[in-house]
Amino acid sequence: MGNLVIVRHGESQWNRENRFTGWTDIDLTANGIQQARNAGRALAEAGFRFDLALTSMLKRTIRSQWLMLDEMDAMYIPIISHWRLNERHYGALTGQNRAETIARFGEEQVWKWRRGFDSQPPLMDADDPRAPWREPRYQGIPRDSLPLGESLKETVERVRVFWDEVIVPALKQDKNVIISSHGNSQRALVKLLEDMSEEEVARFDVPNSVPLVYKLDTGLRVLSRSSMSIPHPEVSAIL
């Protein structure tokens, strides 16, 4: 059975500004670039080798994956970028500052939107110019499949399809897989792997660019899960 490593992208500009990012295509900060390189270097030094690399359709995971593979001298391996690995869609909260949102709606409500398992944020208007169906990268995907806002539960179900159709078959072919993830898509993957409760997955912390290493048996049951120690200067909240 192949090994699985999941790494949240390096810090993005909107992470730094504490904005709800979701599906907005925000790039890495200089610090985020260094975080991704640090993660790749640590994986190389630990002797990891991969057969398949996965990312979302958003540049913060794609660039993080490039940087990690560059540090591992493995930029030749296949990379699949797929919308089902995108971050949770934060709907009408997209682009808003967390502190300003708390001031407007209250800390308890914002916590539910951020961490509650089945709490859906206010939806983005279908006529909003940022609606996913307007973007070229999502052309060919049925419009009703593209969200205008998601709960964590809905994010898990979206990720589950890709897990079943792509990740599981690769692991069963003894391929070692590295995923450059987002905070909530990583939570979704962890829930699928470990069958975490709703409360456990809501509390699960996902720092930037810290590789999460899974050893699995032939039935895809988790034998071990470990987080690598990476000396990053900063980590960011999941937004």
Residue 163 marked ligand-binding:
no
Quickly count: other Cβ atoms within 10 Å of residue 235's Cβ.
17
Is 87 noted as a catalytic residue in this protein?
yes
Q: How far apart are CA 124 and CA 133, in angstroms?
A: 12
Residue 160 marked ligand-binding:
no
Phi-psi region for residue 232, left (φ > 0), alpha (ψ -120 to 50) or beta? Answer: beta
Residue 114 marked ligand-binding:
yes
Residue 41 marked ligand-binding:
no
Token pair 């709703």 in the structure block, residue = 198
Residue 221 marked ligand-binding:
no
Residue 11 marked ligand-binding:
yes
In angstroms, what is the C-alpha Rg of the chain?
17
Q: How far apart are CA 38 and CA 230, in angstroms?
A: 7
CB 121 within 8 A of CB 91: yes
**Regarding beta strands 177-181 and 79-81, do their DSSP bridges make them parallel or antiparallel, or are they unpaired?**
unpaired
178 three-class SS: strand
Residue 88 marked ligand-binding:
yes
Residue 24 marked ligand-binding:
no
Residue 21 marked ligand-binding:
yes
One-letter identity of residue 142: P
Residue 150 marked ligand-binding:
no
Instruction: Spell out where 9-152 has E strands.
Output: 52-55, 79-81
Residue 63 marked ligand-binding:
no
Residue 184 marked ligand-binding:
yes
CB 228 within 8 A of CB 210: yes
Is 9 noted as a catalytic residue in this protein?
yes
CA distances to 106, 149, 163, 197, 228 from 119, rounded to whole Å, are: 15, 10, 23, 15, 31
Residue 101 marked ligand-binding:
no
Q: How far apart are CA 93 and CA 110, in angstroms?
A: 10
Q: Which of 87, 150, 182, 232 is catalytic?
A: 87
Q: Which of 9, 71, 182, 232 is catalytic?
A: 9
Residue 14 marked ligand-binding:
yes
Residue set of the binding site: 8-15, 21-22, 60, 87-90, 114-115, 183-184
Active site residues: 9, 87
Residue set of the binding site for substrate: 8-15, 21-22, 60, 87-90, 114-115, 183-184
